[in-house]
Amino acid sequence: MTETEFIHRFEPAASAGSPPLLLLHGTGGDENDLLGLGKMISPGSALLSPRGRVLEHGMPRFFRRLAEGVFDEDDVRRRANELGEFVNAARQRYGIAAPVAVGFSNGANIAAALLLLKPEVLAGAILLRAMVPLSDPPKAELGGKPVLLLSGQADPIVPASNSAKLAALLSQAGASVTHRVLPAGHQLSQADLTLARDWIGNVDAKAA
């Protein structure tokens, strides 16, 4: 497998005008995990869903971690660059525009890293239960890119201070951040789906 190849699923757009989605699963997920979620959030969007290339006890992830909540930041940088190259190659192969990332947990963290390291790759992002991916991120210029950050009030993995710090970091880099803290844990709830669908509908309308 070359640097730009990921095992992945691609589903072409069913309707013109909906932004393509880059679906990024959580630890132990795969390229099939978020296809249903993508279809519910934005019916009609093209879906690009890669499988993370790092294995932790046999479970796919998008980058290595040293412990829960402690990331191997060199690997985060390397893997974000690989993922960015994959997205660029997939855009040419499938003829799609820059996608909006929809990431859950580990997938949300690599999406946040992509925003900071290779902002040109994404048109925006829905970050579900994301953490700050880099302790010393580069100075990114996000130029108003829309980002929806949905956190769980009772999340045992992501402290509230960490998700608030991520929202501030992305805002300072110029993203247009909407941060909502939901009465939920680390798992997704119906509220996540509803908020994500409404948010992407508004992004859609502005782009149209």
What is the C-alpha to C-alpha distance for residues 29 and 21, in angstroms, rounded to an integer?
17
Separation in Å, CA 174 to CA 19, 87, 129, 159: 21, 22, 21, 24
Structural domain including 59 reads: 8-207
What's this model's pTM, rounded to 2 decimal places? Answer: 0.96
Residue with tokens 């402690």: 70
The pLDDT score that the predictor gives to residue 208 is 44
2 part of a folded domain? no
198 part of a folded domain? yes
Q: What is the DSSP letter of 121?
A: G
203 part of a folded domain? yes
Nearest 5°: phi and psi at 50?
-90, 160
What CATH code is carried by the domain that includes residue 64? Answer: 3.40.50.1820
Angle between helices 160-172 and 106-117 in degrees, nearest 10: 20
- Please, what sign has the CA dihedral across residues 190, 196, 202, 204? negative
Torsion of CA 25, 116, 198, 10, to 10 degrees: -40
The pLDDT score that the predictor gives to residue 123 is 97
The pLDDT score that the predictor gives to residue 163 is 97
110 part of a folded domain? yes
168 part of a folded domain? yes
CA angle 121, 147, 54 (to 5 degrees): 55
3 part of a folded domain? no
In this prediction, the residues of the chain whose per-residue pLDDT falls under 70 are 1-4, 204-208
The catalytic residues are 105, 155, 186
Tally of domains within the chain: 1
Question: And the tokens for 149?
Answer: 């950050």
Q: Are 170 and 191 in contact (CB under 8 A)?
A: no
